[in-house]
Amino acid sequence: MSQSQPTQPGSTEAAPPVLNFRRLEKLQRLFGVVALVLLLLVCGAIVAASFKLRSQIAEIKSNEEFIERQQRAIVTCVNPATVLNPKQAKEVQQIIESNVPPGRDTERLIAARVYVHIRRNDQLERAGNIARLLRARGYIIPGIENVGDDSPDRTQLRYYQRDAVTNEDLRNMTEILAGAGVSLGEPEKFESAGVRPRHYELWFGKDF
């Protein structure tokens, strides 16, 4: 039988490890705080990305609407008989006029624009034919707007500025309209701030 060895003098047995529960509790709290901070950072990043995405979607939509308005303006210039409602007519006019320089020293370099208005839908076909005649002579016709009762009783050719170029334009347009059988009095001058050179309006009235 084996006998246990006697303990040598001066030797000590290793003490069992003692857990520091307070330290563990502090570490647990620290990890909890770090996890919460990380969660808040992730949530903040998600919210920021969401706002950025919404902003980008809104910008894309705005760009699409702008392109649509530009395309409408191009279409109306290609096809002068295009019918526009008041909102579309205003948008097309703003787009076209925004590309016309405001100076009065380059009138002959600026294309003349003739904005055509009708009173009734049954005037559209004839107005479209006249618009094509004007366009064939180099005038830009940005569509035809039906203004209803806002149209005068008698057909009018309106202008806003008077100079040598305007006189020539008015003479040419009067001849074209007369050749198409349009009864027209003297062109009428209107006042409006900010109207650019060679801006004209043809308002077909009840007599058309």
Q: 142 and 98 in contact (C-beta within 8 Å)? A: no
Cα(146)–Cα(128) distance, integer angstroms? 12
Q: 207 and 153 in contact (C-beta within 8 Å)? A: yes
Residue 99 has pLDDT above 80, yes or no: no
| More reliable by pLDDT, 49 or 120 | 120
Strand partners, 140: 113
- Mean pLDDT, the chain, rounded, equals 80
User: What are the pLDDT digits (tens) for 40-77?
Assistant: 888 888 888 877 878 777 777 765 665 566 556 665 66
Domain boundaries defined on the chain: 22-73, 79-203
pLDDT band at 1 (very low <50, low <70, confident <90, very high): very low
DSSP state of 205: -
Average pLDDT of the segment spanning 111-121: 93
Cα(102)–Cα(183) distance, integer angstroms? 32
Average pLDDT of the segment spanning 134-155: 91
User: What are the pLDDT digits (tens) for 145-188?
Assistant: 999 999 999 999 999 988 889 999 999 999 999 999 998 889 99
